[in-house]
């Protein structure tokens, strides 16, 4: 039978890597190909500009989700009545599962004694549940099992959820447990064994690796910690791998995120196989707390959407989306609605649930998946060589590994190589605060004595450095009615100064220092008068390199004579400009956080 299908490539010469490379080299005009067209992830994995069948690494995917993921909403309101109302509203409007944080140690949440009240009216034979009980995993699990046992007219296999026992995740996050890690693992195994027969859809154990992501870990490090935790839990339960549900963070890097979740499926299948078990395919995703910002929180909606897309396409079986106001307090009704609608729209309107493993065959994603598998497995073996997760946490090996990744990431954030939209780039220091956000629950202080304490894995957010400076600006505004300011002194025409003036404005306002703008000046006397009228004591000169050689020198001398406390210039350092009075230079690649911190010290806002 003749093949009459349309072939879009007909009539075109076959493409080749060499032909593409020749065109690129011509466009680069002598710039190094590897430097311009390739990059590296924080795991040191080389990311190519183009992947083809000749350089792609494709391997079979061990498991792939069929259909949609479970739409999950997180809840941590300590008021059981309020939590109940919020959960019922979410369930009525499309949510399929509830992630419930229980008060434990210094972590706020609903009290165990109030759990039954919080679940009043929730049909647990229809809605899934995921407990996050922290160090109170044993008591919380028994209470939840008690609720399920009392549930009327429901078959055991109708219940779906997870009791959330995760002693190693709790130890790494909080630095404490009520008992030793060994006792905690034994108690966790006891909870798993105490489930009534036939409750196979209620898992007992949660292996949450998002704590390492939120401390700054790379993708491979997070995967390795997940694998090591799962291995520890399988050993502790004598091979009850079916009772364990791994958890990973999903962030806004769509391509690395898809590859990370696909790699998790392959790696978990490999670990389960090593223990003589079959991987069940369950993998929970929670959107990254590390990527969330306090300033311009609306951008968190975009971050959450990108993260959900990556996790969903990557094969997550359930996704929890943190509302965009999470860092501001208890989420408002609108924020919770947006968070659940992100998932509903991606599933129902974008059609992501139709294809099974939609990233399969994409050369770039396949290659990154394979690279993550190799790197994560290497790190996993290294953790095992150090005695596993318990020994690694006690010795500080895990903490030091993650700290090294955060230190590298922190440098790139400070230099704005890793841009944070709405914070380090395109900041709006005059933004209006969100309304209808509840107060952050008080941290419980009356906690039982610890049976084991270690140095916890610290929590970091990408925006924390810039937002600390913004908080200093807010404090100065509250105290004096005025933010710290810098005058933007443009030289020449709009075409001459706009690019660098825009750069300077973003540079300073990223740290809360308000940029006072003016037009361009060919007459330095007029520039001096505009500066004096602005009331600012700091100034940044903006123009072209050729202008700096003449007009820039005169401007610096005039501004210094006019009493400018500190003169910046947007551009690279030149000795002649320094001699004329320029104190500091700002440019692409400069350490923005360090520059702005010193500015606050010079302005008297160092506290």
Interval 281-338: pLDDT, tens: 999 999 999 999 999 999 999 999 999 999 999 999 999 999 999 999 999 999 999 9
Question: What is the distance between the alpha carbons of residues 604 and 555, in angstroms, rounded to a whole number?
Answer: 25
For residue 155, pLDDT over 80 is answered with no
* 223 burial level (CB within 10 Å; 0-12, 13-18, 19+): buried
C-alpha separations of 56 from 9, 52, 367 in Å: 21, 6, 5
Burial 73-92 (b: 16+ CB within 10 A, else e): bbbbbbebeebbebbbebbe
Sign of CA pseudo-dihedral 317, 321, 327, 330: negative
Instruction: Characterise 239 by phi-psi region: left (phi > 0), alpha (psi -120 to 50), beta (else).
Output: left
8 A C-beta contact, residue 564 and residue 385: no
pLDDT of res. 355: 86
For residue 607, pLDDT over 70 is answered with no
For residue 10, pLDDT over 90 is answered with no
Joined together, the tokens standing for residue 103 give 């008060």
Strands 39-40 and 46-47: antiparallel
Instruction: Output the average pLDDT for the chain.
Output: 94
Look at residues 346, 321, 350, 435 and name the one whose alpha carbon lies nearest to residue 90.
321
Q: What is the pTM of this model?
A: 0.94
Look at residues 172, 105, 104 and name the one whose alpha carbon lies nearest to residue 394.
172
For residue 157, pLDDT over 90 is answered with no
Question: What is the distance between the alpha carbons of residues 478 and 537, in angstroms, rounded to a whole number?
Answer: 20
Look at residues 19, 26, 68 and name the one whose alpha carbon lies nearest to residue 344.
68
pLDDT of res. 456: 97
For residue 601, pLDDT over 80 is answered with yes
Question: What is the distance between the alpha carbons of residues 580 and 264, in angstroms, rounded to a whole number?
Answer: 58
Q: How many CB atoms lie within 10 A of CB 253?
A: 18
How many helices (DSSP H) and strands (DSSP E) are in the chain? 22, 18
For residue 3, pLDDT over 90 is answered with no
What percent of the chain is modeled with pLDDT above 90? 85
Burial 319-346 (b: 16+ CB within 10 A, else e): bbbbbbbbbbebbbeebbbbbbbbbeeb
């Amino acid at each position: 039978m003749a093949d009459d299908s349309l072939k879009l490539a007909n009539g075109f010469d076959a493409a080749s890597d060499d032909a593409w490379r020749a065109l690129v080299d011509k466009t680069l005009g002598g710039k190094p190909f590897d430097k311009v067209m390739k990059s590296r992830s924080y795991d040191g994995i080389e990311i190519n500009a183009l992947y083809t069948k000749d350089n792609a690494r494709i391997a079979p995917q061990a498991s792939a989700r069929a259909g949609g993921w479970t739409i999950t909403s997180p809840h941590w309101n300590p008021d059981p009545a309020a939590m109940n109302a919020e959960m019922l509203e979410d369930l009525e409007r499309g949510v399929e599962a509830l992630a419930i944080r229980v008060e434990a140690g210094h972590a706020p949440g609903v009290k165990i004694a109030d759990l039954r009240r919080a679940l009043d009216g929730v049909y647990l034979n229809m809605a899934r549940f995921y407990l996050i009980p922290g160090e109170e995993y044993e008591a919380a699990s028994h209470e939840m099992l008690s609720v399920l046992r009392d549930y009327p007219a429901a078959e055991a296999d109708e219940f779906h959820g997870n009791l959330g026992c995760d002693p190693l995740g709790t130890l790494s996050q909080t630095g404490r447990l009520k008992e030793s890690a060994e006792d905690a693992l034994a108690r966790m195994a006891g909870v798993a064994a105490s489930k009534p027969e036939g409750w196979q859809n209620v898992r007992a154990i949660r292996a949450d690796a998002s704590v390492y992501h939120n401390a700054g870990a790379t993708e491979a490090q997070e995967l390795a910690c997940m694998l090591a935790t799962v291995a520890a839990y399988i050993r502790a339960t004598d091979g009850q791998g079916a009772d364990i549900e791994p958890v990973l963070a999903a962030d806004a890097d769509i391509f690395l995120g898809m590859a990370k979740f696909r790699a998790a499926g392959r790696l978990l299948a490999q670990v389960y196989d090593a223990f003589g078990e079959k991987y069940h395919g369950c993998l929970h995703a929670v959107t990254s707390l590390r990527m969330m910002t306090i300033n311009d929180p609306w951008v968190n909606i975009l971050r959450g959407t990108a993260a959900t897309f990556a996790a969903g396409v990557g094969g997550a079986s359930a996704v929890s989306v943190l509302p965009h106001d999470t860092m501001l307090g208890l989420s408002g009704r609108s924020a919770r609605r947006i968070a659940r609608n992100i998932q509903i729209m991606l599933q129902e309107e974008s059609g992501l649930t139709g294809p099974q493993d939609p990233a399969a065959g994409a050369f770039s994603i396949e290659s990154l998946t394979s690279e993550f598998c190799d790197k994560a497995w290497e790190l996993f073996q290294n953790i095992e060589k150090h005695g596993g997760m318990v020994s690694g946490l006690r010795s500080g090996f895990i903490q030091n590994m993650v700290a090294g990744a955060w230190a590298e990431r922190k440098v790139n954030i400070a230099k704005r190589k890793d841009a944070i939209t709405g914070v380090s780039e395109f900041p709006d220091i005059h933004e209006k605060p969100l309304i209808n956000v509840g107060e952050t629950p008080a941290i419980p202080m009356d906690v039982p004595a610890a049976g084991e304490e270690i140095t916890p894995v610290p929590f970091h957010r990408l925006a924390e450095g810039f937002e600390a400076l913004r908080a200093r600006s807010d404090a100065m505004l509250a105290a004096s009615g005025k933010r710290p300011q810098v005058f933007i002194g443009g030289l020449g025409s709009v075409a001459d100064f706009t690019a660098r003036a825009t750069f300077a404005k973003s540079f300073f306002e990223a740290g809360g220092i308000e940029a006072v703008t003016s037009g361009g000046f060919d007459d330095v006397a007029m520039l001096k008068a505009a500066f004096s009228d602005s009331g600012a004591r700091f100034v940044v000169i903006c123009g072209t390199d050729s202008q700096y050689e003449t007009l820039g020198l005169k401007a610096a001398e005039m501004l210094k004579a006019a009493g400018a406390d500190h003169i910046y210039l947007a551009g690279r350092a030149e000795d002649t400009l320094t001699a004329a009075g320029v104190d500091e230079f700002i440019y692409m690649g400069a350490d923005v956080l360090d520059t702005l911190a010193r500015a606050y010290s010079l302005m008297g806002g160092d506290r």
